[in-house]
Protein backbone atom coordinates (compact mmCIF):
# COMPACT_ATOMS: atom_id res chain seq x y z
CA UNK A 1 0.00 0.00 0.00
CA UNK A 2 1.34 3.45 -0.91
CA UNK A 3 1.10 6.17 1.70
CA UNK A 4 1.59 9.92 1.27
CA UNK A 5 2.29 12.32 4.08
CA UNK A 6 1.71 15.34 1.85
CA UNK A 7 -2.01 14.70 1.45
CA UNK A 8 -2.65 16.18 4.91
CA UNK A 9 -1.20 19.57 3.99
CA UNK A 10 -3.38 22.55 3.13
CA UNK A 11 -3.20 23.26 -0.59
CA UNK A 12 -1.58 26.64 0.02
CA UNK A 13 1.28 25.10 2.01
CA UNK A 14 2.15 22.66 -0.75
CA UNK A 15 1.69 25.24 -3.50
CA UNK A 16 4.17 27.60 -1.84
CA UNK A 17 6.81 24.93 -1.28
CA UNK A 18 9.66 24.04 -3.61
CA UNK A 19 9.45 20.59 -5.12
CA UNK A 20 12.25 18.04 -5.15
CA UNK A 21 12.84 14.92 -7.21
CA UNK A 22 14.74 12.29 -5.19
CA UNK A 23 16.22 9.41 -7.20
CA UNK A 24 18.55 6.85 -5.64
CA UNK A 25 19.87 3.56 -6.94
CA UNK A 26 22.60 0.97 -7.01
CA UNK A 27 24.27 -0.11 -10.25
CA UNK A 28 26.12 -3.29 -11.18
CA UNK A 29 29.89 -2.85 -11.43
CA UNK A 30 29.87 -3.73 -15.12
CA UNK A 31 27.49 -0.84 -15.86
CA UNK A 32 29.02 1.69 -13.50
CA UNK A 33 31.19 3.60 -15.99
CA UNK A 34 28.49 4.15 -18.60
CA UNK A 35 25.91 4.97 -15.92
CA UNK A 36 28.13 7.75 -14.57
CA UNK A 37 28.90 9.09 -18.04
CA UNK A 38 25.17 9.25 -18.80
CA UNK A 39 24.38 11.05 -15.57
CA UNK A 40 27.27 13.52 -15.93
CA UNK A 41 27.06 14.16 -19.67
CA UNK A 42 23.32 14.03 -20.35
CA UNK A 43 20.88 13.47 -17.54
CA UNK A 44 21.60 16.24 -15.01
CA UNK A 45 21.76 18.94 -17.67
CA UNK A 46 18.67 17.58 -19.39
CA UNK A 47 16.66 17.84 -16.18
CA UNK A 48 18.08 21.24 -15.18
CA UNK A 49 16.96 22.67 -18.53
CA UNK A 50 13.30 21.80 -17.92
CA UNK A 51 11.33 25.00 -17.18
CA UNK A 52 10.72 25.27 -13.44
CA UNK A 53 13.76 23.20 -12.42
CA UNK A 54 16.21 25.12 -10.23
CA UNK A 55 19.11 22.69 -9.82
CA UNK A 56 20.33 19.13 -10.12
CA UNK A 57 22.98 17.53 -7.91
CA UNK A 58 24.70 14.13 -7.69
CA UNK A 59 25.76 12.46 -4.46
CA UNK A 60 27.80 9.34 -3.73
CA UNK A 61 27.19 7.18 -0.67
CA UNK A 62 29.80 6.95 2.06
CA UNK A 63 27.59 5.14 4.57
CA UNK A 64 24.19 3.51 4.03
CA UNK A 65 21.47 3.95 1.45
CA UNK A 66 22.00 3.48 -2.26
CA UNK A 67 25.31 4.07 -4.03
CA UNK A 68 24.03 7.04 -6.05
CA UNK A 69 21.56 9.82 -5.26
CA UNK A 70 20.25 12.58 -7.47
CA UNK A 71 18.41 15.59 -6.00
CA UNK A 72 16.58 17.97 -8.33
CA UNK A 73 15.00 21.11 -6.82
CA UNK A 74 12.06 22.75 -8.60
CA UNK A 75 10.04 25.91 -8.15
CA UNK A 76 7.02 23.89 -7.00
CA UNK A 77 5.38 20.48 -7.16
CA UNK A 78 3.33 21.75 -10.11
CA UNK A 79 6.47 21.54 -12.29
CA UNK A 80 6.13 17.73 -12.24
CA UNK A 81 2.80 18.02 -14.03
CA UNK A 82 4.04 20.55 -16.58
CA UNK A 83 4.32 19.88 -20.33
CA UNK A 84 8.10 20.31 -20.17
CA UNK A 85 8.53 17.64 -17.52
CA UNK A 86 6.04 15.26 -19.09
CA UNK A 87 7.88 15.51 -22.41
CA UNK A 88 11.23 14.73 -20.78
CA UNK A 89 9.78 11.90 -18.68
CA UNK A 90 7.74 10.29 -21.45
CA UNK A 91 10.27 10.69 -24.29
CA UNK A 92 13.50 9.34 -22.84
CA UNK A 93 16.62 9.18 -24.99
CA UNK A 94 17.99 5.72 -25.88
CA UNK A 95 20.88 6.36 -23.48
CA UNK A 96 18.41 7.17 -20.71
CA UNK A 97 16.31 4.08 -21.38
CA UNK A 98 19.39 1.86 -21.21
CA UNK A 99 20.59 3.34 -17.93
CA UNK A 100 17.20 3.49 -16.24
CA UNK A 101 17.05 -0.25 -16.82
CA UNK A 102 20.47 -0.61 -15.17
CA UNK A 103 19.29 0.86 -11.88
CA UNK A 104 19.14 -1.68 -9.05
CA UNK A 105 16.82 -1.22 -6.06
CA UNK A 106 15.89 2.28 -7.27
CA UNK A 107 13.92 4.78 -5.23
CA UNK A 108 11.98 7.62 -6.87
CA UNK A 109 10.14 10.22 -4.82
CA UNK A 110 8.63 13.56 -5.78
CA UNK A 111 8.45 15.67 -2.65
CA UNK A 112 7.36 18.99 -1.23
CA UNK A 113 10.29 20.72 0.49
CA UNK A 114 9.24 21.90 3.95
CA UNK A 115 10.78 23.29 7.16
CA UNK A 116 13.79 24.79 5.37
CA UNK A 117 16.49 26.07 7.71
CA UNK A 118 19.69 27.70 6.47
CA UNK A 119 20.84 28.10 2.87
CA UNK A 120 23.55 26.98 0.49
CA UNK A 121 24.88 23.60 -0.60
CA UNK A 122 26.96 21.38 1.65
CA UNK A 123 29.76 19.04 0.62
CA UNK A 124 28.01 16.24 2.54
CA UNK A 125 24.39 15.25 3.00
CA UNK A 126 22.49 13.17 5.54
CA UNK A 127 19.19 11.56 4.52
CA UNK A 128 17.22 10.32 7.53
CA UNK A 129 14.02 8.37 6.72
CA UNK A 130 11.19 9.03 9.17
CA UNK A 131 7.97 7.16 9.94
CA UNK A 132 4.87 8.31 8.08
CA UNK A 133 3.24 10.80 10.42
CA UNK A 134 -0.43 10.83 11.37
CA UNK A 135 -0.11 14.59 11.89
CA UNK A 136 1.93 15.95 8.99
CA UNK A 137 1.83 19.53 10.24
CA UNK A 138 3.27 18.47 13.58
CA UNK A 139 6.10 16.71 11.75
CA UNK A 140 6.85 19.87 9.77
CA UNK A 141 6.94 21.88 13.00
CA UNK A 142 9.24 19.33 14.62
CA UNK A 143 11.57 19.35 11.61
CA UNK A 144 11.75 23.15 11.77
CA UNK A 145 12.61 22.97 15.47
CA UNK A 146 15.27 20.32 14.90
CA UNK A 147 16.69 22.37 12.04
CA UNK A 148 17.05 25.40 14.28
CA UNK A 149 18.92 23.31 16.83
CA UNK A 150 21.13 21.78 14.15
CA UNK A 151 21.95 25.25 12.85
CA UNK A 152 23.91 25.86 16.05
CA UNK A 153 26.27 22.98 15.25
CA UNK A 154 29.62 23.52 13.54
CA UNK A 155 29.51 22.69 9.84
CA UNK A 156 25.74 23.01 9.43
CA UNK A 157 24.66 24.42 6.05
CA UNK A 158 20.97 23.65 5.51
CA UNK A 159 18.21 21.25 6.54
CA UNK A 160 14.76 20.51 5.12
CA UNK A 161 11.98 17.97 5.31
CA UNK A 162 10.92 16.03 2.21
CA UNK A 163 7.24 15.07 2.13
CA UNK A 164 6.54 12.65 -0.76
CA UNK A 165 3.49 13.12 -2.96
CA UNK A 166 1.70 9.86 -3.75
CA UNK A 167 0.34 10.74 -7.19
CA UNK A 168 3.62 12.21 -8.45
CA UNK A 169 5.98 9.59 -6.99
CA UNK A 170 5.48 6.99 -9.69
CA UNK A 171 8.04 4.17 -9.48
CA UNK A 172 11.02 3.67 -11.76
CA UNK A 173 11.02 0.64 -14.10
CA UNK A 174 12.87 -1.66 -11.68
CA UNK A 175 11.47 -0.20 -8.45
CA UNK A 176 9.61 -2.65 -6.21
CA UNK A 177 5.98 -1.67 -5.69
CA UNK A 178 4.84 -4.31 -3.19
CA UNK A 179 4.80 -2.81 0.29
CA UNK A 180 6.11 0.50 -1.07
CA UNK A 181 5.80 3.18 1.62
CA UNK A 182 6.60 6.82 0.90
CA UNK A 183 8.38 7.90 4.06
CA UNK A 184 9.15 11.53 4.89
CA UNK A 185 12.89 12.25 4.94
CA UNK A 186 14.94 14.82 6.81
CA UNK A 187 17.87 16.07 4.73
CA UNK A 188 20.80 17.85 6.38
CA UNK A 189 23.58 19.44 4.35
CA UNK A 190 26.93 20.09 6.03
CA UNK A 191 30.46 21.23 5.22
CA UNK A 192 32.21 18.01 6.30
CA UNK A 193 31.65 14.30 6.85
CA UNK A 194 32.22 14.67 10.59
CA UNK A 195 29.60 17.42 10.80
CA UNK A 196 27.20 15.20 8.86
CA UNK A 197 27.71 12.29 11.26
CA UNK A 198 27.11 14.58 14.22
CA UNK A 199 23.94 15.95 12.59
CA UNK A 200 22.72 12.44 11.84
CA UNK A 201 23.12 11.36 15.46
CA UNK A 202 21.40 14.49 16.77
CA UNK A 203 18.49 14.28 14.33
CA UNK A 204 17.96 10.57 14.90
CA UNK A 205 17.75 11.15 18.65
CA UNK A 206 15.33 14.05 18.17
CA UNK A 207 13.01 11.95 16.00
CA UNK A 208 13.48 8.75 18.02
CA UNK A 209 14.93 7.10 14.90
CA UNK A 210 17.81 4.68 14.44
CA UNK A 211 20.88 6.63 13.26
CA UNK A 212 21.99 3.52 11.35
CA UNK A 213 19.09 4.11 8.94
CA UNK A 214 20.47 7.53 8.02
CA UNK A 215 22.41 7.79 4.79
CA UNK A 216 25.66 9.77 4.57
CA UNK A 217 26.65 10.95 1.10
CA UNK A 218 29.28 13.21 -0.46
CA UNK A 219 28.43 15.78 -3.13
CA UNK A 220 29.82 14.93 -6.55
CA UNK A 221 28.70 18.03 -8.44
CA UNK A 222 25.78 20.41 -8.77
CA UNK A 223 24.30 22.32 -11.70
CA UNK A 224 21.91 25.26 -11.34
CA UNK A 225 19.44 26.24 -14.01
CA UNK A 226 20.79 29.80 -13.86
CA UNK A 227 24.13 28.53 -15.22
CA UNK A 228 22.36 27.28 -18.37
CA UNK A 229 20.29 30.36 -19.13
SS (H, E, C) 112-128: EEEEEEECCCCCEEEEE
In 3D space, the residue among 143, 154, 127, 156 whose CA is nearest the CA of residue 214 turns out to be 127
CATH number at residue 134: 3.30.70.100
What number of CA atoms fall less than 13 Å from residue 120's CA on the CB side? 11
Let me know if residue 155 belongs to a domain.
Answer: yes
In 3D space, the residue among 15, 26, 95 whose CA is nearest the CA of residue 60 turns out to be 26
Burial of 149 (0-12, 13-18, 19+ CB in 10 A): middle
How many domains does one find in the chain?
1
Let me know if residue 229 belongs to a domain.
Answer: no
Q: Which residues pair with 216 in a beta bridge?
A: 63, 126
Let me know if residue 227 belongs to a domain.
Answer: no
pLDDT of residue 77: 97
Distance, CA of 95 to CA of 31 (rounded, Å): 12
pLDDT of residue 91: 87
Let me know if residue 17 belongs to a domain.
Answer: yes
Let me know if residue 1 belongs to a domain.
Answer: no
Which residue spans within 148-192 are E strands per DSSP? Answer: 156-164, 185-190
Distance, CA of 103 to CA of 113 (rounded, Å): 25
pLDDT of residue 90: 86
pLDDT of residue 229: 78
Can you give the pTM of this predicted structure? Answer: 0.93
Let me know if residue 100 belongs to a domain.
Answer: yes
pLDDT tens string, the chain, 229 residues long: the values are 333 344 434 455 666 799 999 999 999 999 999 999 999 999 999 999 999 999 999 999 999 999 999 999 999 999 999 999 999 988 899 999 999 999 999 999 999 999 999 999 999 999 999 999 999 999 999 999 999 999 999 999 999 999 999 999 999 989 999 999 999 999 999 999 999 999 999 999 999 999 999 999 999 999 999 999 7
Distance, CA of 189 to CA of 195 (rounded, Å): 9
What is the domain range of residue 205?
6-222
Distance, CA of 147 to CA of 8 (rounded, Å): 22
Contacts of 208 (CB under 8 A, 6+ apart): none
Amino acid sequence: MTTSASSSFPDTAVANANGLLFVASDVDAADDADFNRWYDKEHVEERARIPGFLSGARYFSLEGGRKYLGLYRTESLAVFGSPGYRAAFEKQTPWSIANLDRMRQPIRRVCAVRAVTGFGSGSHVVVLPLPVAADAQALVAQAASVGQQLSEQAGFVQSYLLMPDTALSTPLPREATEGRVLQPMLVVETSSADAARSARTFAATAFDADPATGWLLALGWKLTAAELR
